[in-house]
Each structure stands twice: as structure tokens, then as C-alpha cells.
Amino acid sequence: MEQVKKHESNVRGYSRSFPVTFTSANGAVIHDTDHKQYIDFLAGAGALNYGHNNPFFKMKLMDYIDKNGVTHGLDLSTEAKEHFINIFNKYILEPRELKYKMQFTGPTGTNTVEAAIKLAQIVTGRTNIITFTNGYHGHSKGALRLTANAHYRKGLENELNQFTTFIPYYGFLDGDFDSADYLDKILSDSGSGTDIPAAIILETIQGEGGVNIAPKEWLQKLRRITEKHDILMIVDDIQVGCGRTGNFFSFEDAGIYPDMVTLSKSLSGYGLPMSLLLIKPEIDDWKPGQHTGTFRGNNLAFVTAAEAIIKYWKDDEFTKETLAKSSKLLRILKQIGEDHKEIITDVRGKGLIAAVECADAETASSITAEAFDNGLIIETCGSNGNIIKFLPPLNIHDNYLNEGIKIFEQAVQSINKVELV
Amino acid sequence: MEQVKKHESNVRGYSRSFPVTFTSANGAVIHDTDHKQYIDFLAGAGALNYGHNNPFFKMKLMDYIDKNGVTHGLDLSTEAKEHFINIFNKYILEPRELKYKMQFTGPTGTNTVEAAIKLAQIVTGRTNIITFTNGYHGHSKGALRLTANAHYRKGLENELNQFTTFIPYYGFLDGDFDSADYLDKILSDSGSGTDIPAAIILETIQGEGGVNIAPKEWLQKLRRITEKHDILMIVDDIQVGCGRTGNFFSFEDAGIYPDMVTLSKSLSGYGLPMSLLLIKPEIDDWKPGQHTGTFRGNNLAFVTAAEAIIKYWKDDEFTKETLAKSSKLLRILKQIGEDHKEIITDVRGKGLIAAVECADAETASSITAEAFDNGLIIETCGSNGNIIKFLPPLNIHDNYLNEGIKIFEQAVQSINKVELV
Amino acid sequence: MEQVKKHESNVRGYSRSFPVTFTSANGAVIHDTDHKQYIDFLAGAGALNYGHNNPFFKMKLMDYIDKNGVTHGLDLSTEAKEHFINIFNKYILEPRELKYKMQFTGPTGTNTVEAAIKLAQIVTGRTNIITFTNGYHGHSKGALRLTANAHYRKGLENELNQFTTFIPYYGFLDGDFDSADYLDKILSDSGSGTDIPAAIILETIQGEGGVNIAPKEWLQKLRRITEKHDILMIVDDIQVGCGRTGNFFSFEDAGIYPDMVTLSKSLSGYGLPMSLLLIKPEIDDWKPGQHTGTFRGNNLAFVTAAEAIIKYWKDDEFTKETLAKSSKLLRILKQIGEDHKEIITDVRGKGLIAAVECADAETASSITAEAFDNGLIIETCGSNGNIIKFLPPLNIHDNYLNEGIKIFEQAVQSINKVELV
Amino acid sequence: MEQVKKHESNVRGYSRSFPVTFTSANGAVIHDTDHKQYIDFLAGAGALNYGHNNPFFKMKLMDYIDKNGVTHGLDLSTEAKEHFINIFNKYILEPRELKYKMQFTGPTGTNTVEAAIKLAQIVTGRTNIITFTNGYHGHSKGALRLTANAHYRKGLENELNQFTTFIPYYGFLDGDFDSADYLDKILSDSGSGTDIPAAIILETIQGEGGVNIAPKEWLQKLRRITEKHDILMIVDDIQVGCGRTGNFFSFEDAGIYPDMVTLSKSLSGYGLPMSLLLIKPEIDDWKPGQHTGTFRGNNLAFVTAAEAIIKYWKDDEFTKETLAKSSKLLRILKQIGEDHKEIITDVRGKGLIAAVECADAETASSITAEAFDNGLIIETCGSNGNIIKFLPPLNIHDNYLNEGIKIFEQAVQSINKVELV
């Protein structure tokens, strides 16, 4: 850690919360330089739905490197890329009757968001984008504008506050306020001051924003409203896509068909940088090369990504397993919430993303720090930092899931005891 | 290619110029599905200064994967990351007496530019950024604003045209106009209308913009002017850093010390997505986690990047070799230019980036298409597309360099013959 | 009208609704070239609170011109200006214990709004401004951004949508939604995405926006919220100030003390272009000459404005008279509303601004057209155009008030009869 | 002055340079409360081309008021307005074969500029506007963006720097740089980074910016370039129109036909707030009422404006007189410049706008202060404040012109003597 502390910019984040140096990892487990083992409920901030260094993909990856498969990421056509396109189309898009074109943007979520926004603006000729309170879409300027958390906007507010309208997310306001109705109202009323936007960008569950879960009826209503007003719907599925909620896409159970979908994080299956924008063919108005970049085809990621789909998404077995684990996790967490009402104010989740909301940020960070000492990596989220977010690998073995929950419960008990005294 | 044509977005670019599917690659050579071999003077658009799948790095990479080294890219501290930081500091920064802090942004060039601009704005409290005609800095909104080429701005102009002042790059205007003096004038004169900017962002050689080469005296003058007016200087060394011009940094021979430097492309040494922003410690005003992202530490890239530095940058041998190859390449290209004045209007270069400027875009693309048929991959650049850009791997073997040049010359002859008839 | 139709831009507005040429005017009455007389319930869109060509001011105005008083409007010190400053301070500010500094901006409302916004931004270093649905603040860019009506933004949306957050005005949403609480919430919650603004700009009654009347408790709550979050409150009193609601300032009965107040329209008392920005001394951070203009001191307007204050605002007599007329007007209009529920959906008002809300825009414009034929000038407003707005001169003689109402009622009857058939 | 100092905002400007209270004025002469007489070479910053309180217009004005002509300024059709439209068309537009439509904006120059810019953006669908170094167009946000002087932009730079490209005005740069060619270059070269603008806005002589005079060949070249690139040309003739350069429009001798022309200042002839935008019929794309305002038809100004045109513009007599005075003024000023080379660096002018450029701002302000003490009102301009600007009434009697020049020369002598010592 000395080199990191000395030479890395102040901007470094996770290495402050988890101040050790990690060496190797496998499935749900990661080790540090002192050979201490941690169960990983952070999972690369959602980038490891299939666990660390998944052995099914690892061999394919090493083979590809060994045989000198093309590595570099220019958007040339390669065998690895064509294979991925083929597999993604065959096992993901076709069975779901989704006819998207695929855009390989720079291999980060934020770049995919940038591409989606730009395309929406080009297609519609409008600049405004509707986004939501507590929305999180990345840190490059086009995406940061859409990101609500004031910490990220600090010092840049004077420029960011443009071409964006923030709408209360589901549940942001108390009472019977329905923000979908509100959106419909301001789009319908020519006195609202809200210019008709190019698109709305939407997380079905706000991951970074505090695990806020939108019900499917609300998503359906939003889809109807966007169609009514002829504005595009972009679903940012970077954190909760790729199976996190059970289905491959988080919006499947709502039965909606977004105009664009952003994917990243767990897409490569191996934690490698990769991103994908799905675009309805009728709005694929890009000029060749108009959104470009050096790493638009991370071939190593294509190799593992294709393998991940073949391994886990040929049928609905994996979805069932995830939902079974989800039931268990949520049941236990709710019991923990019941047992510690003094410090836990809410427990919620869907699939294998879950939140334990604490009374305040201090309590939450005390719990996660205690858990870390005892071998569990888990982070807080939300604009207040009072929410503990569970993101275990989807294929986590039951033993590790149980043990992780146990460490968490003990940490809660330990902190609650202190508070009760 | 069928899958690509059918399912990939219209935005795909290089796969139109080079319409084959590539399979494997090694050093300066890449193969397609028909086992045809190509000499690669595109080199991942500058991402492969050490060639495809460099064998020195490959073994380390496979070892790391094999032993389950941490793969995923969250900004946790890992052995691979600490090793890279250590090596980069020891062999790159310390010998050059550069005291930069390192920020690992999302692993793309554009993300590094975004981070640099944001930090400059936060530090100075100003929004305006000075950039240059034909400048190229990426495609996310904050970077796209700074990018001159109208093709990339198409359909987004109404929003992009803000917080940015374009200044003529060295040589953009004919005559004795000195754009450094012009910059000084508009910053000094309170009637210029140009608000004092946070920073200028500068390529020492404009790669995408047409291989426009700024002399070191001009760079030095710009450095003096930025200091005089207390504005930050960001050097975007994404394309011409990492040894492309001979020295590791392209600005070394000018003896200037920028406030921030962006690196990417060849940094990982293996074509893997990786980026780095270098920041003078006194302006490292980031709040922890303020610019974040899932793939801020591509560990596989750290492994190969450290190895690349150890292999090539322990001493100045590699620089000497590059400069020797540069002399040869430029000498021959100039002769070709002399021999084909009918269609070649200029030849220029520095280190191993070189340009053959053709009379028009059609001639240039005819030459590169002919060269591709004969086994050479080389691209055009510049806002008019009439410039052929040479970016061979720096460690290219003489045989391949010679053969590549020969194929190019034959293509020129072939096209010129047609034109002369 | 022929010259107007032929040579004036398409932008002309009122001359389409009232397609005659007017010649002379006196009090509440205006005449056209055919010697037809109209009772004027439009009153210069609120610029004639003291009637047309008020005889008390007229003599002073002619005297001033006759003796060659300085006419031109540069912000030099003149006798007329000093007199106005003295009188305004003595009869308006001091009795109300308001310690404002006076800024004479260009003599239009929009210019005063521009100045207020600029000063708020300079003082706070922030760019964002909170404004309200159906807010109306003018047509220059800085003010137009804050103006909600889509008709005015048409074709400019792509640029206007910045540095502005629209909040629902009182009553914009149904149900128990309180937009003051909403404002507090988004300013308090760091996940709201709303950057802390420089100021809110507020009409206590939205005149152009449809005669939407905010209760004083809501205004008081807004004042507490702005103070809590350290943001400035600008009251735009251009239409409903200068006595329109009874008191000189429309916010007097709420007992709030805004940081800035804009005045224009009836300020000169004679329909002459004049504007005034009131500024709390502690935020008067202007540099000399920083907001300038050729007509910043319309001396003819100073003459009549001072006279108007002396005549009507020495005591509270005028306020009482206005409130008495108000009671009468509202009582009769409500009766008319009761009698014609088929086409009138609401009647509301405060002081001598009142609204008769019709079922639709067609009904409203049919009524006003019929009224015009019968000698009453009255206009529609609101983003839907379905609201008939009453703005008679405050000093209108009872005979004319009665007659005007009678013409209106007959027009309603005539239209309702048609509809009922 | 006490009331002014105590109660007026810090923003007040001219009353600091000329710290007396003025009472009455007549022709070229203005008086203060101490009965001191001043010759006025400031002339309302160009608003008094026909002198103070011109007796030919005064009677008409008093008659109109006396007979209760409509005073208030809503854009209704009035006799006074129709008369003006008729007269302006007959004596100004028709003889010059200019087919403009007339838009009456708010009665200030800045509002007219705002309208012109908005219309250019609506018509072209583009946001960018080309403006010039040292350009001055007003203080509302849309106009301020186009205004170069840093003093006016102070504290607002972070927002203003958008949708605007500043180009060097004629003569801004030394050497053989031609900024018209530069404009052509950046509009032609797709790598310039300058998005094709909606319009350029141009002063033929920069008044506030330092009396910078563009030759007619340069104006003609700009007109060709704007036509070539299909961008609109707006001439801002607010300060140097209405006869200031001899002809009614300042661009007449260049023989160009702008797409839009802004007029204000001397338009009313009497120093009353009035503005006018001239629009080529084919781009008059306004929707009715889209740019509106309370004071869009200052009837008192219509009365005097029509009279001014009848009196001075029926034939070319007035132009000849102005040019004769111009010759005399410039000849004498150049002699003064010759005689005082120690402190005067340039003398220039056209028509009756002239500049004496001093070595520095202190010298210039010492001269104008000394002149004021001796009974001459004259101001400095330019971003450095070192330029003394002569704007006498066009109809100034020779005696006053001579006397004013004499006072000026004595002031120069007095200051130069001090400097020489």
C-alpha cells in the first residue's frame, strides 16, 4: 500500500475502505498479501456476477492468448468478436425477440452512456435528457450531467447543470406522488418549462443510488409515457443487467422493450473492461466511425463474454438458481433487520442485489468496517452512505453465501450492542 | 464478417476499410481467416508500440492469469497495480525528475482527458478550455467538445460549442502567423472576448488530425505563455507518448514540464485497455472517489505495462533504435515523395510516426486500399482524409519495415501510373 | 393597419387580436380611428395602473419637456432622476422599512430580470436559477430561460435548457403535493441532482402564466427555505407590483423581504418605458458600469413616476380603494361564473387582477372577440390560452368598471347560448 | 448627487465621471444645477445625433401628449406607429431599395440584438454566433455573450463562454493577418473545430470597442464569405447608424445588404427609448407574439422618430453637412495629434465619430476630466480606456463644434505639459 498511498492521486477510493493489497481471487473469495481470505459481496461493484476468475472462462482466455489470438481492441473484425456477436445474438437477443443492433463503445459503462445520449440527440435533434434523482450513469461529462450525487458534481456544478431534467425516482418523495404521472404532466403541459427531451435514461434498480427498486408497473407506465410523447427510453442496465436480478436484462419481467440498453460490468464475465450498447435498428443513425475509440473491441473480453453466455444463458437454469438464492438472502436479511430495528431501518432487494438501510452513515460504515475485519468485503452506497449493498457473485456457493451473511450479522450485532449500551 | 455486418451498428469503422476477419497476430504481423498475412503499420492506431502479443509480456500475462491473480478492475490495491506504480515511478518518472501523482481513470484515452479537464476546472474555478484546430481528444462529451473534426461533431454541434476556444495549431494558417503569439494576445487583451481558461490541452504532434508536428520552440513558448497567464497545460500524449517519437514522452526534447499528461494506447504494451493521468501534486485536488469507474485498474494491463517498461525503458537503448528506424523511414518516404510529386504533396514525420500527404483523399484511399490488397495495413487521417499515416510498431524488425515500405511504394506507383495515364 | 400588416414583422401580436388602429386614450378608455370607444381591461398589459394619460402626471410631463429638462436616458445624474429616487425612497421604501439600493437597468422588465439574475450569479458564484412552471420573466436569453411557455421557447429549446430548474408553482399539481416542501427536499438531499442555485425567481401571482395566485403562507415558506439554504429570493413584481394587488408590492401582505425585487410596467405611471431593480445593500456587488445601457434613465418616465407616487402612495387610501373595487369585481365575476358553469370552470383574483377560466381556448377567445366588438378590450393568457385576464386601471371610475363587466357578461351569455344550442 | 450616491446601486457609471446633476439641455449644450454649461460631445452615447431636445420634434411631441395620443407601448397598432412605419419605409428603406420587415422589440439596443440572434438561430437551426474582438452588443445574456470586454463579463465567464466564436476584428492583429480570410478558412476547413454558425454579428465601426473602423472592402469580403457559407449577417448599427457616419446606415458606402440590421440610440431622435430590428422578409420566421414585451411600441418615440426622418432624411443634404463637419473635425484632431505625439498615439474617425488614442488610460482620463472642468463632456472607450471618443451631435452648430475642440485641445496641452515636465 505504500506505493499506492505515495504515488496515486487523492482520487483513489476503494483502497481507503479496504486498506490492504489483494493478490489472488477465485469465485467468491479474494486474498490479500497476508494470506487473509475475504468473502466478496462487492464483486467488482457488480462486475463479477460469475465470480472471480471463473474457471470455465479462464482456460478459454489462456488458450486465446497462447495461440496469439488478436489482442488489441481496435474495432476491426476478429474471430473473437464475431463469435461473441453470434453467441450474444443467438442466446440473448433472439430468444427474447429483441432485434437490437450492437455498438461496441469504449469498454466502460460511462462511454456506453455517452454513446446512447449522443445517438438520442442526433436522432431526435433535441438536447434535453430526462434523468432521475439518485441516478448514476458515470463520470465523463455527458454522463456526469445525468448523475445526481452532489459529491461527484462538486466544483463542476456551474457547467453540469444543463440539457438535463431531474425527475423524482420511484419512491423519492413520500405520499401518493407518482413521478411517472408527473413526467407525463410536464411533457403534456406547454407551461411546464420542460423542453421535450431526446430521451429518458433509467435504471430499473438504482444501484449506486441506494438500491432503489422500481416496480414493473411503474416501468411499464414510463414506457407508455415515452411512447406517447415520442421520446426514446434508454435503460442503463450496467449494474443490474447480466443476470443480477434473475433474468439477463433487468427489465424482462416488466415486459418493456427499451430503445437502447447499456451493458458493461459483468458483461465480459471475467471482470475485463467491456461495454455494449444495444440500439433499435430504426434509430441506428450513426455515421461510420462517428463514435470511435482505440479499445472498442477488447478481444480478451469477447472470449470470456461469449463463454459466459454459453455457460450460463443457454437456458433458464441460472435464473432459477439466482432467484432461489435471492429468496434465501432476502429472508435472512429481513430477519436481521427485524432483530436490529434499532439501527436498521429497511431491508430490500431483488435478485441478488440487496440493501440493508441503516439509521445513519456512521452505523453503516462501522458495520462494513467490522465485517471487513472479519473477512467480508461489502460496501455502502446511496447519497447519504447509510445503505449497505449486497452484490455477491450470482454463482456463489451456498457455503460462502451463508458464511458471508453470518459475518455480516455478527458485525451488525457488534455495532448494535455498542449503540444499545 | 457476415455477423458483423448484420448485427453491429452502422458506427463500425475500421472493419469497412479492412473488410476481413482477423485471427492471430505476432509482432508486426497480423493474419486473417484466409491465412493471409499483413504487415501492420496501423498497429492498433498506436496502441501497439511493442508489436502484437509481445512474447516478453505474454508469458507474464499467462502466469498471472494462471495463478488467479486478481483480474477485475476496481480501484482496489493489488499486487499488480502496486508493481506497476513502483516500476513506472522508478524507470519513467524519477529518471526524468517528474514528480507526478498517478490517476487511474477508466481505461480509455477519452476518460483520461475527461478527468484532466474536470480537475483543471475544479482547481481553477474556470470552465473554458483552450484547444487547437485539428485537435483530437476523444468522443465522450467533455472530450468531444475539444475535438475539432466536424465529422465527429455532426448532429451535436448545437450543444458542443461551449466552454471551449479553438486556436489555430502550429502551421494551420499560412504566412507568418504565430498562433502562440495569438494565444498570448487574446489572453492579454481584455477586449478579446476570450475568457481566461482553466487549461490548454495540447498534442505535441496531432496524430488523428493529420500528423501535424509542432516544433519544440513553439511548445516552449506555449509553456511560457500558460505560466504567464496562470493557466494549466495538459499534454495529451495518448497517441505519441510511450516512445512513439523516440523518448518516452513526446515533450521531453522540448524540456517542458506539463501540469498534466494523459497516457493510454501503448501504455499497457499489449493492446489492453489502460489509461493513466499524470498530475502535478500541487493540483491534485480530487476528493476521494470523485472521479470513479468500474475498470479503473485493469490488472492484466498492469502486468504487461510494468513488463514493457522494464523491458524497453531501463535505459535509452530503445530510444536510439527508434530514432535510427525513424531516419531510415523518413529518408525513404521522402524519396518516394520526390518520385511521385504528381500525387504526393508532403512527407513529414518524427520518431516512428510519419505522414505522406496526398493531393486528395481519393488518391490516399486508393493507395491504402491497394496496399491492403498486397498485405499492408495502413490508414488515412486528417480532416480531409488525404494523409497516409505510418505507425509501425517501434520494435518492428527491419525486414518487415522494409517490406512494408516496399508494398507502400508499389501501391503509390500503381496509383500514380493510373493518374498519369 | 395596412402599413402595419405590410411592413411589420410576423412577430406582431396584439394588433392581431385587436385589429384596429388606436388614436387617443384617457383613463380607462381608448379610441380607434373610427372614433369607436373601448373600455380597456388590458391596460397596457398591466402598465397602466393609473389609467391612460393620467391628467395629474400629464401636466408635469409637458412642463418638463417644455422647459427643456434633460430627456435622454444615459445614467447621468439629473434633477428628474434625483427627484424620483428621493420620492421613491421617502414614500415607498422608508415607510415599509425596506432598505433597498436602486438599480436603473434598461427600461424593460426583461432587462431588470437579466440584471437580477446576473447579480445573483456574481454574488453567489453559482449559475443555477430556480424558476417555476408557468413563470414568465421576459424574452432576452437570460430571462427567456426562466420563462416556461413553450410557445416562446420554440426553436430555441436546444440552447435554453440550462442553468435553470423548473419547480411546480403553487397549485400546478393536484393532490397534496406541496412544491415548497419539494424545493426543500431537493435542496436538502444530495442525491437530488439539483445543484444549489444562486437564486429563485418568483412571481407572487403568475400574470401571463394564467393568474395563478400563491397564498401568503406558501410565500413565507419559500422565504424560510431560501434562507435555510442560503439562496437569494428575487420577486418579479413587474406585473403585479405598483399596487395591482392593493399594496404597492405584491408581497407586502406576506410580510416577506426579498433579496431583490424587479419593477417595471406601471412604475412610470404613464406607460413610459421604465424599470427598476431593488437590491439589498449587502449584495450590491456590481462593479461601476458593469451592467450598462443607453436608456438606463428615462427622464420623462422619472417625472411621471415621481408624480404617481406622490399622488397615489402618500397614504393607504389608494390601497383601500383598490381592495374595495376588487371585492366588487370578484363578487360579480364569481356570479357570472356560477351562471355559466357550462363554459366557465373557475373564477379567481386578488386586488384588481382577476381570471375567468374557460373550458377551452376557443371559448375564451370567442368571448374576448365578442367583447371587443362591443367595446371592451380584454385578453386571454395561460399556456393554454383558456384564461381571460382582467387588468383594469386601478383608478378606473365605477361607471366604466360596471360597463366593462356588463359587456363581458353579455359576451359570455352570447357565447354560452351558442354552446348550449 | 447625494440621493444618487446614497440610494443608487454601485453599478452607476457616468455619474462618477461627470459628478454633477444635470437639469436642462438644448442642442449641443447641457446645464447642471450650478447653471454651468457644457458642450456635449458624448451626446447620450450616440443617442442624440440631432442634439438635445431638438425643437423641430419637441412641438410634435408636446402636441401628441396634449391631445392624449396613445402613450403606452404595447404592440397595438396606433396612429403614431403607423405613421412612423410609413415614413421609415418611404424615406429610408425605399430610396435605398432595402426591403426589410420591421420588428419593434423592447426599446433597447440589447433587446434588438437578442431578437436578431434568436431569429437567426430559429431560422438556421444552429446555435453558434460569430462575433468580434472588442465587439459590443449589450448586457442581457444573449447579447453579453457576444460582447468582448472582460469588465462586463466579470464573474459570469463560466456561463457566457458558449455558442459564440470570437474572431479578430479588422486591425486587431498586427501584420498581414486578414481576419476575413481567417473566417473563411475556419468555415471551410472541417478540422477547424468551429461549428458553422447561425450568423455573424458585426459593427462596421466598433464604437464602445475603441472606434475601430473597418474598411468597406473588408465588409464586402465578409458579406461574400457569409453568403458563400450560407450564414446570416447581422449589422449592429445601434451606435453608428442613423447618420453618424454620414449616410443613414453605416454600411451604405460598402454597398452591402445585411440580412438583419439593429437600430436604436438616435432612432427616436429625441433620446427616447426606441429600437428597431430590420429583417429580410424571407427570414421573418417569427411566430406571432414569440418575442414580446410591454414596451414594444414607445409612441412618444414614434412621434419624434418620424419627425426626425422627415426633417433630416428627405434628401442627402444632411449627409453632406455631416461629412463636411467630419472633414473639419478630423483635420483639426489630426493636427492636435501631430502636436502632441508624446501622449497621442493615433487619431482616426469616420463621419462624426472620431477617436484620439492616448498612450495610456491615465492620460486619457486626465484629459477628459480636465475638459469636463472646462465645460466639455467627452468620454473614453476601448477595453483599455485609453481612447477618447468624439460623438458630437450631427447637427451641432459650428460655433459649438469649434469651442468644444478648443476646450479639448487646451486639456491636451495642459496634460501634455504636465507629462513633459
The stretch D205-224 carries a mean pLDDT of 98
Helix (H, G, I), strand (E, B) or coil at C195: coil
Fold of C57-313: Aspartate Aminotransferase; domain 2 (3.40.640)
> Chain C: nearest CA to D222, how far in angstroms?
26
The residue of A128, A169, A195 whose CB has the most chain C CBs within 10 angstroms, and thus the best one to mutate to test that interface, is: A195
Contacts of A158 in chain D (CB under 8 A): 158-159
The residue of D149, D154, D158 whose CB has the most chain B CBs within 10 angstroms, and thus the best one to mutate to test that interface, is: D158
Contacts of B82 in chain A (CB under 8 A): 1, 3-4, 21
Residue B420's Cβ-count burial label (10 Å; 0-12, 13-18, 19+) is exposed
Q: Report residue A24: phi and psi, to 5°.
A: -135, 170
Query: Is residue B223 within 8 Å of B233, Cβ to Cβ?
Result: yes
Alpha helices (runs of H) in A287-378, residue ranges in sequence order: 299-312, 317-339, 361-373
Contacts of C267 in chain D (CB under 8 A): none
Question: Which H or E run contains A356?
Answer: strand A353-358
CA geometry: angle B136, B142, B146, nearest 5 deg:
35
The residue of B40, B68, B81 whose CB has the most chain A CBs within 10 angstroms, and thus the best one to mutate to test that interface, is: B68
- Give this complex's ipTM: 0.97
Q: Do C176 and A175 touch (CB under 8 A)?
A: yes
pLDDT reported for residue C4: 86
Q: Is the pLDDT of residue C52 over 90?
A: yes
CA geometry: angle B39, B42, B44, nearest 5 deg:
110
Choose the closest CB to C273 out of D117, D138, D295: D295
> Chain C: nearest CA to D326, how far in angstroms?
24
> Chain B: nearest CA to D192, how far in angstroms?
5
Choose the closest CB to D176 out of B147, B175, B196: B175
Give the domain ranges of chain D: 1-53+316-419, 57-313
Q: Which residue has the cell 493513466?
A: B276
The DSSP secondary-structure symbol of A90 reads I
Q: Do C10 and D101 touch (CB under 8 A)?
A: yes
**Chains with 3 or more CB pairs closer than 8 angstroms to C?**
A, B, D
Choose the closest CB to C149 out of A150, A190, A384: A190
Query: Is residue D321 within 8 Å of D334, Cβ to Cβ?
Result: no
Alpha carbons C325 and C396: distance in angstroms, whole number: 9
Contacts of C4 in chain D (CB under 8 A): 77, 81-82, 85
Which of A83, C123, C220, A156 minimizes the C-alpha distance to B117? A156
B299-312 helix and B55-66 helix, angle to the nearest 10 degrees: 150
The residue of D167, D190, D380, D386 whose CB has the most chain B CBs within 10 angstroms, and thus the best one to mutate to test that interface, is: D190
Contacts of B384 in chain D (CB under 8 A): 190-191
Q: Do D298 and C23 touch (CB under 8 A)?
A: no
pLDDT for C364-402, tens place per residue? 999 999 999 999 999 999 999 999 999 999 999 999 999
Which of C272, C297, C296, C225 minimizes the C-alpha distance to C69? C297
Amino acid in the structure at residue A158? N
Nearest CA in chain D to B149: D191
**Same fold: D1-53+316-419 with D57-313:** no
Higher pLDDT, A46 or D1: A46
> Chain D: nearest CA to B115, how far in angstroms?
19
Choose the closest CB to A139 out of B10, B70, B114: B114
Nearest CA in chain B to D127: B158
Mean pLDDT of chain D: 97
Choose the closest CB to B15 out of A69, A75, A108: A75
Q: Do D135 and B193 touch (CB under 8 A)?
A: yes
Q: Is the pLDDT of residue C421 over 70?
A: no
Query: Is residue B294 within 8 Å of A18, Cβ to Cβ?
Result: no
Q: Do D21 and C75 touch (CB under 8 A)?
A: no
pLDDT for D116-146, tens place per residue? 999 999 999 999 999 999 999 999 999 999 9
> Chain D: nearest CA to C5, how far in angstroms?
10
Three-state secondary structure of chain D: CHHHHHHECCCCCHHHHCCCEEEEEEECEEEECCCCEEEECCHHHHCCCCCECCHHHHHHHHHHHHCCECCCCCCCEEHHHHHHHHHHHHHHHHHHCCCCEEECCCCCHHHHHHHHHHHHHHHHCCCCEEEECCCCCCCCHHHHCCCCCHHHHCCCHHHHCECEEEECCCCCCCCCCCHHHHHHHHHHCCCCCCCCCCEEEECCEECCCCCEECCHHHHHHHHHHHHHCCCEEEEECCCCCCCCCCCCCCCHHHCCCCCEEEECHHHCCCCCCCCEEEECHHHCCCCCCCCCCCCCCCHHHHHHHHHHHHHHCCCCHHHHHHHHHHHHHHHHHHHHHHHCCCCEEEEEEECCEEEEEECCHHHHHHHHHHHHHCCEECEEECCCCCEEEECCCCCCCHHHHHHHHHHHHHHHHHHHHHHHC
Nearest CA in chain C to D7: C101
Q: What's the half-sphere exposure (Cβ side, CA atoms, 13 Å) at A375? A: 17
pLDDT reported for residue A5: 92
Choose the closest CB to A156 out of B89, B118, B277: B118
Query: Is residue B143 within 8 Å of B128, Cβ to Cβ?
Result: no
Residue C130's DSSP bridge partners are C165, C200
> Chain A: nearest CA to B205, how far in angstroms?
18
Which of A378, A180, A223, A212 minimizes the C-alpha distance to C191? A212
Q: Was domain A1-53+316-419 assigned CATH 3.90.1150.10?
A: yes
Helix (H, G, I), strand (E, B) or coil at A416: helix
The stretch D350-363 carries a mean pLDDT of 98
> Chain A: nearest CA to B3, how far in angstroms?
6
> Chain C: nearest CA to A227, how far in angstroms?
20
Q: Look up residue C124 and give its three cell numbers.
A: 453567489
Q: Is the pLDDT of residue D196 over 70?
A: yes
Q: Do A195 and C166 touch (CB under 8 A)?
A: no
Q: What's the half-sphere exposure (Cβ side, CA atoms, 13 Å) at A254? A: 23
Nearest CA in chain B to A113: B140
Over chain B (421 residues), what is each successive 10-residue block's mean pLDDT? 90 95 98 98 97 97 98 96 98 98 97 98 98 98 98 95 97 92 97 97 97 98 98 98 98 98 98 98 98 96 98 98 98 98 98 98 97 98 96 98 98 88 67
**Chains with 3 or more CB pairs closer than 8 angstroms to A?**
B, C, D
Nearest CA in chain D to B169: D192
> What pTM was estimated for this model as a whole?
0.97
pLDDT-derived band at D315 (thresholds 50, 70, 90) equals: very high
pLDDT-derived band at D421 (thresholds 50, 70, 90) equals: low
Alpha carbons D159 and D156: distance in angstroms, whole number: 6
pLDDT tens track, chain A, 421 positions: 888 899 999 999 999 999 999 999 999 999 999 999 999 999 999 999 999 999 999 999 999 999 999 999 999 999 999 999 999 999 999 999 999 999 999 999 999 999 999 999 999 999 999 999 999 999 999 999 999 999 999 999 989 999 999 999 999 998 889 999 999 999 999 999 999 999 999 999 999 999 999 999 999 999 999 999 999 999 999 999 999 999 999 999 999 999 999 999 999 999 999 999 999 999 999 999 999 999 999 999 999 999 999 999 999 999 999 999 999 999 999 999 999 999 999 999 999 999 999 999 999 999 999 999 999 999 999 999 999 999 999 999 999 999 999 999 999 999 998 777 6
Contacts of A182 in chain C (CB under 8 A): 173
pLDDT for A188-199, tens place per residue? 999 999 999 999
C216-228 helix and C179-188 helix, angle to the nearest 10 degrees: 10
> Chain C: nearest CA to D38, how far in angstroms?
13
Q: Do A191 and C164 touch (CB under 8 A)?
A: no
pLDDT-derived band at C2 (thresholds 50, 70, 90) equals: confident
Q: Number of residue pairs across B and C with CB atoms under 8 Å?
A: 3
Contacts of D387 in chain B (CB under 8 A): none
Nearest CA in chain D to C44: D74
Would you tell me how many other CB atoms lie within 10 Å of the CB of residue B367? Answer: 28
Three-state secondary structure of chain B: CHHHHHHECCCCCHHHHCCCEEEEEEECEEEECCCCEEEECCHHHHCCCCCECCHHHHHHHHHHHHCCECCCCCCCEEHHHHHHHHHHHHHHHHHHCCCCEEECCCCCHHHHHHHHHHHHHHHHCCCCEEEECCCCCCCCHHHHCCCCCHHHHCCCHHHHCECEEEECCCCCCCCCCCHHHHHHHHHHCCCCCCCCCCEEEECCEECCCCCEECCHHHHHHHHHHHHHCCCEEEEECCCCCCCCCCCCCCCHHHCCCCCEEEECHHHHCCCCCCCEEEECHHHCCCCCCCCCCCCCCCHHHHHHHHHHHHHHCCCCHHHHHHHHHHHHHHHHHHHHHHHCCCCEEEEEEECCEEEEEECCHHHHHHHHHHHHHCCEECEEECCCCCEEEECCCCCCCHHHHHHHHHHHHHHHHHHHHHHHC
pLDDT for D53-106, tens place per residue? 999 999 999 999 999 999 999 999 999 999 999 999 999 999 999 999 999 999
The residue of D159, D160, D190, D290 whose CB has the most chain A CBs within 10 angstroms, and thus the best one to mutate to test that interface, is: D159
Q: Is the pLDDT of residue D280 over 70?
A: yes
Which of B287, B236, B276, B243 minimizes the C-alpha distance to B89? B276
What are the residues whose beta carbons fall under 8 Å from the beta carbon of C320, sequence distance 6 or more?
A: none
The DSSP secondary-structure symbol of A27 reads B
pLDDT reported for residue A421: 67
Torsional sign, CA C224, C227, C228, C232:
positive
Q: Do C157 and A126 touch (CB under 8 A)?
A: yes
Percent of chain A predicted with pLDDT > 90: 97
Alpha carbons A169 and D120: distance in angstroms, whole number: 38
Would you tell me how many other CB atoms lie within 10 Å of the CB of residue D79? Answer: 19
